[in-house]
Amino acid sequence: MSSPSGVRMSGPLLVFTSGFREDLARRGYRPGTAAKQLQLMAHISRWLTGGGLEAGDVTTARVEQFLQERRASGRSQLVSLQALSPMLDYLRALGVVPVAEPVAPSTPGEVQAASVSTK
């Protein structure tokens, strides 16, 4: 599917579809790439519905869970946090989803890198 207008959406993110589509166009996304972003949005919206969740429940931890399940289902494209960034940025700008929580460093290398970046 290469047309953003052809993506079928349902669930709690449905009301944000046209605004997100317009945001992608404004940011210069080509129709095929915009369609993939909207398909990803449709997938997470269905996932939210399946879990009895609303748009405001899209926390960093839930996004990671969604991506983990997406990868486990055999998908190999659009399976990273970066892939969801356009949608998350859009929804955060609207105040719909919470701002990303900072991730605490968990390895000695991450701790050292964090201390270097704050100096």
SS (H, E, C) 74-113: CCCCCCCHHHHHHHHHHHHHCCCCCCCCCCCCCCHHHHHH
For residue 54, give the CATH number of its domain.
Answer: 1.10.150
Domain that holds residue 19: 4-117
Phi/psi for 10 (5° steps) reads -150, 175
Cα distances from 84 to residues 38, 43, 110, in angstroms, run 10, 11, 23
pLDDT at 23 over 90: yes
What is the rounded average pLDDT of the residues 9-22? 95
Tell whether the torsion through CA atoms of 83, 87, 90 and 91 is positive or negative: negative
pLDDT at 3 over 70: no
Domain count across the chain: 1
pLDDT in tens, 95-111: 999 887 665 555 566 55
pLDDT in tens, 25-61: 999 999 999 999 999 999 999 999 999 999 999 998 9
